[in-house]
Amino acid sequence: MADFIKEESFERRLREAVSVAWQVFARKVGGGLIPVNKEASMQLQFAYVLKQVLPLMLHNPDESADIELETGVKTKSGTNNIDILIKGHSHTGSTVIAIEMKCYRTIAASGGTRGAHDIFMKDVYEDLHILEEYVASGIANYGVALVMNDLERFVHPSVKRGKCWAYDISHGNIFPGGKINVPVGGKAVKVSLKKSYEFNWSKFGKFWFTELEGAMAD
């Protein structure tokens, strides 16, 4: 039996909705039923799947949940737009889940070959950083990073050469938390993570998918 069916906590059911929707989304993308050619289409297509899953998580009349796209918020890092925001309400209170998404396609939407491997790897870590900020500042109860790509060497590299591997996203890598100040593309980067993260990728079709819980309120 699916965990969300047995789960009493409304907050945990909402969190489970993200994982369920992500698993469905990954299989549909891998099977060719959902086209994703860049991050914007990934966001919209996943939001559609999530919108269908959320009602399954509502067990009582006083429970409700909805989503927002590109919600602007202010943190100590400045102004940011959260890719997807889930807002849930029940008699136990409100629950907010912030989702950040990253997509890498070897062929860009324009049809050309995409580079910037190091920027993508760095961006994944920066998403984890901002998700931790959302939770620490009280904007969200949970932060979740959802990442997909079609370049196997991100997941199973034969070698790890270059500064970009300071932002290691390969399968099985565990980042224990801490700071990374390795510049990328000639620009300074400052990433600080309080949590540890383990990258576990699953392959569907020609795509790889991973889900990382960026942070959770105490």
What is the pLDDT, as a whole number, of residue 1? 41
Amino acid at 3: D
* Distance separating alpha carbons of residues 177 and 169, to the nearest angstrom: 14
Digit-coded pLDDT (tens) for 45-82: 999 999 999 999 999 999 999 999 999 998 887 889 99
Has residue 109 got a pLDDT over 80?
no
* Domain enclosing residue 65, as ranges: 3-216
Which secondary-structure segment (H or E) carries 82?
Answer: strand 78-90
Digit-coded pLDDT (tens) for 32-46: 999 998 899 999 999
Q: What is the mean pLDDT of the chain?
A: 91
* Distance separating alpha carbons of residues 20 and 27, to the nearest angstrom: 11
Digit-coded pLDDT (tens) for 145-164: 999 999 999 999 988 888 88
Torsion angle of the four alpha carbons 132, 135, 137, 140, in this order, in degrees rounded to the nearest 10 = 140
By the 10 Å C-beta count (0-12 exposed, 13-18 middle, 19+ buried), 148 is classed as: buried
Q: Which of 88, 86, 95 is nearest to 21 (CA)?
A: 86
Has residue 207 got a pLDDT over 50?
yes
Q: How confident is the model at residue 144 (pLDDT cuts 50, 70, 90)?
A: very high
Domain count of the chain?
1
What is the pLDDT, as a whole number, of residue 4? 65
What is the pLDDT, as a whole number, of residue 2? 61
The three-class DSSP label of residue 19 is helix
% residues pLDDT > 70 (the chain): 92
pTM value?
0.93
Has residue 112 got a pLDDT over 70?
no
What is the pLDDT, as a whole number, of residue 106? 87
What is the pLDDT, as a whole number, of residue 115? 63
